[in-house]
Amino acid sequence: MTYVQGFVIPAHQDNREAFRDMAAKAAPVFGDYGAERIVETWGDDIPDGKQTDMKRAVQARPDEQIAYSWVFWPDKAACDSAAQKMMTDERMKPDGTPVPFDMERMIYAGFDTIMDTGDGGAFGYVDGMVAPVPTAAKDDYLAHARMAANLFRKAGATRLVENWGVDVPDGKVTDFKRAVDAKPDETVVFSWIEWPDKQTRDAGMARIMEDPVMRDTPMPFDGKRMIFGGFVPVLDTDA
């Protein structure tokens, strides 16, 4: 089963290129230890929520932007083994260049991929989402995701990926559970939708919002606590 490391990161709005450069430098090291693909995206349309949102998830400041990132691994064992080895790799040691984001407020976790509609090729825009799902409702959630995926594909999306939390650590300042006010009997899900470009995404989202099937089908989780946003890719090791 494919394993995904997911990240939500607060970075100063002027540090987009520095963030990309740091990620580009680290990517070959991850690849040497088995990572199959690394994608870094930069916030473009991050709405404020009433209860939770991407900004509050990482305690973002007014001059910060949100980065949404993921790393594909063959499985959890490969990821865990790589993490141990990279800690002693000279290429990962600090070189004096300031880290372009606050690591204490970064949230990260490991997820099993439970749905992937397949590689849709190059993409120019991403909708990223994190949601709290009742653990006992995993099958219901997957069924709902498959239904929604068909509608999104018809609306222009090229790929949808759903990932179920299996290694979601507690953080000192922030973490994925707090990001969505997850309850003890809930699991955090990390998901994204790939689009060719923002124009297609905007038109597709408008179409989805008007679709009676999507509108009338109950969600098997608390949508009020789901956090989401629109992002522009800044690094894709498969591009």
Q: Is the pLDDT of residue 96 over 90?
A: no
Going by C-alpha positions, the residue among 239, 236, 238, 193 that lies closest to residue 20 is 236
pLDDT on residue 98 = 87
CA pair distance 84, 92, nearest whole angstrom? 12
- Per-residue CA distances from 45 to 23, 64, 153 (Å): 22, 13, 21
Q: Is the pLDDT of residue 206 over 90?
A: yes
pLDDT in tens, 103-159: 999 999 999 999 999 888 899 999 999 999 999 999 999 999 999 999 999 999 999
pLDDT on residue 166 = 98
Would you say 216 and 149 are in contact if contact means Cβ atoms under 8 Å apart? no
pLDDT in tens, 167-194: 999 999 999 999 999 999 999 999 999 9
pLDDT in tens, 29-51: 999 999 999 999 999 999 999 99
HSE value, Cβ hemisphere, 13 Å, CA-based, for 62: 0
Burial status of residue 120 (CB atoms within 10 A of its CB: 0-12, 13-18, 19 or more) = middle
pLDDT on residue 182 = 98
Instruction: Please name the amino acid found at residue 100.
Output: P
The structure tokens 């597709």 sit at 204
Other CB atoms within 10 Å distance of the CB of residue 83 = 12
Look up residue 136 and give its two tokens. Answer: 């006992």
Local confidence band at 1 (pLDDT 50, 70, 90 cut-offs): confident
CATH of domain 3-236: 3.30.70.100
Report the range of poorest mean pLDDT among 10-14, 89-93, 207-211. Answer: 89-93
pLDDT on residue 105 = 97
Please state, for a pLDDT cut of 90, what percent of the chain lies above it: 90
CA pair distance 139, 126, nearest whole angstrom? 25
Going by C-alpha positions, the residue among 89, 90, 113 that lies closest to residue 5 is 113
Q: Is the pLDDT of residue 20 over 90?
A: yes
